Structure 1
Amino acid sequence: MQTQKVIDHIVNWLKDYAQKAGVKGYVVGVSGGVDSGVVSTLCAMTGLKTLVMEMPIRQQKDQISRAQEQIDFLKNKFPNVDGFSVDLNAPFEALHDIFNVRDDEFPNEKLAFANTRSRLRMLTLYYYGQINGLLVCGTGNKVEDFGIGFYTKYGDGGVDISPIADLYKTEVYELAKALDLPESIKNAIPTDGLWDVDRTDEQQIGATYPELEKIQKEWGTKTEADYNGRDLEVFQIFSRMNKAAQHKINPIPVCDVPEEWRA
């Protein structure tokens, strides 16, 4: 990949979009992962106001330290960057009590409340974005957003603009290297950070991003019969998750009412 051309293209795209939208810049949630590390850096490179925020909720210590390292990295390098942490533990615990969460009552309750973390962060980003005249910038990559739907609807999927959604995870790592991000960010093991225990993306999905990328690049041109061994296992994982994620990937269905009924 021609990384510098891709970097320049995305930075110019971000700058042009913000100027046409009449906003001052972008707000980005940073998690300590490579996706948010790359996106926050690209936003900073526009020269527009960039607000980077860490929003811990029962977070692992290494995730908190990496996110803070990324904030410090950007603030030291770009004068247009401001960043801070908003501790969301108290509101999250309040919701936990209000919802009266009992893991043994509903099978999907753990997942629903994990997604609540992401939606609380979305609410926070939009609050700070609105009061500062900024757009919320998404950090999802191509596999997550359009392959397996590995994100929270109206959580980290609730954004105004998505600059790396046409890049595979391996390509995001290439950009991270070219942008010379902190080593801890460049080498971070992918995780969504939505669980009390440290669960990596690979553990949750059952496949690595390179494995998933191979299937996505061939999606629609090959069928299950074309695969065997590990490739077949990954195809089945991808197919199952892609089917379940169509409500995320496709636009919200709208019921069309016939014009003749409006008279």
Structure 2
Amino acid sequence: MQTQKVIDHIIEWLKDYAKKANAKGYIVGVSGGVDSGVVSTLCAMTGLKTVVIEMPIRQQKDQISRALEQIDFLRENFTNVEGFTVDLNAPFEALHDIFDVKDDEFPNEKLAFANTRSRLRMLTLYYYGQINGLLVCGTGNKVEDFGIGFYTKYGDGGVDVSPIADLYKTEVYELAKALNLPESIKNAIPTDGLWDVDRTDEQQIGATYPELEKIQKEYGTKTADDYEGRDKEVFMIFDRMHKAAKHKMVPIPVCDINKEWRN
């Protein structure tokens, strides 16, 4: 990959989009991961106002420390960056108490609360984005957004722009290296940070990003019968998750009403 050309292109794309939208710049949620590290840095490199927010909810200490390190990195290198923490533990715990659902009655409760964390963060980004005249910048990569749908609908999937959604995870790591991000960010093990027990993306998905990328590049041209061994296992994982998440990747279905019925 011609990394510098990709970096320059994304920066110009972000600048142009903000100008056309009459926005002052971008707001990004930083998690301590490589995706948000790359995106927040690219936004800062536009020279436009960039606000980065760390939003802990029952967060692991290493995730918090990496997010704060990324904020410090940006502040030290860019005068157009403002960064701070919005502690969302209290509103999340309030919702947790209000909903008061039991695991044994609804098996999907833990997943619903994991997604609630993400949606609280989306709400927070749009609040601070709106009062500052900023666009919410997404941090999803190509595998997450268009492969297996590994994001929360109307959570981290609720954004105004997605500058790295055409880049595979391995390519995002290349950008992180070229941008000289902090070592902890460049080497961060991918995790969504939505669970009380720290679980990596690989543990949740059952496959690594390089494995998934291989399948995604061939998806639609090959079937399960074209694979064997581990590749076939990963194809089945990708295929199952892609089909289950298809509703996230297409426009909201609209029920068309016959014109004759309007008369």
Cα displacement (A) at 1:262: 1.6
Q: Which residue of structure 2 aligns with residue 193 of structure 1?
A: 193
User: Residues 1-263 of structure 1 correspond to what in structure 2 (within 5 A)?
Assistant: 1-263=1-263
**Which deviations, in whole Å up to 9, do the C-alpha atoms of 1:199-228 show, x marking residues without a partner?**
000000000000000000001111110000
**Matched residues in 2 for 1:259 and 1:148: separation?**
37
**Which deviations, in whole Å up to 9, do the C-alpha atoms of 1:229-257 show, x marking residues without a partner?**
00000000000000000110111101111
SS of structure 1 residue aligned to 2:248: helix
SS of structure 2 residue aligned to 1:26: strand
**Matched residues in 2 for 1:228 and 1:251: separation?**
34
**Which deviations, in whole Å up to 9, do the C-alpha atoms of 1:85-138 show, x marking residues without a partner?**
000000000000000032222110000011000000000000000000000000
**Matched residues in 2 for 1:95 and 1:105: separation?**
18
**Matched residues in 1 for 2:172 and 2:18: separation?**
22
Aligned residues: 263
Cα displacement (A) at 1:260: 2.0
SS of structure 2 residue aligned to 1:43: helix
**Matched residues in 2 for 1:261 and 1:77: separation?**
61
**Matched residues in 1 for 2:221 and 2:72: separation?**
45
SS of structure 1 residue aligned to 2:31: coil
SS of structure 1 residue aligned to 2:104: coil
Report the aligned-residue RMSD. Answer: 0.5
Task: Letter of the 1:165 partner, please give it.
Answer: A
**Matched residues in 1 for 2:228 and 2:40: separation?**
39
* TM-score computed with the length of structure 2 as normaliser: 0.99
Q: Identity of counterpart residues, as a percentage?
A: 87
**Which deviations, in whole Å up to 9, do the C-alpha atoms of 1:10-37 show, x marking residues without a partner?**
0000000000000100000000000000
**Matched residues in 1 for 2:195 and 2:74: separation?**
27
Task: Letter of the 1:66 partner, please give it.
Answer: R
Cα displacement (A) at 1:261: 1.8
SS of structure 1 residue aligned to 2:82: strand
Cα displacement (A) at 1:258: 1.9
Task: Letter of the 2:128 partner, please give it.
Answer: Y
* TM-score computed with the length of structure 1 as normaliser: 0.99
SS of structure 1 residue aligned to 2:177: helix
Task: Give 4+ residue runs of structure 1 displaced > 3 Å after superposition.
Answer: none
Query: After alignment, is 214-223 or 251-260 more displaced?
Result: 251-260
Could you list the runs of 5+ residues in structure 1 that have no partner in the other structure?
Answer: none
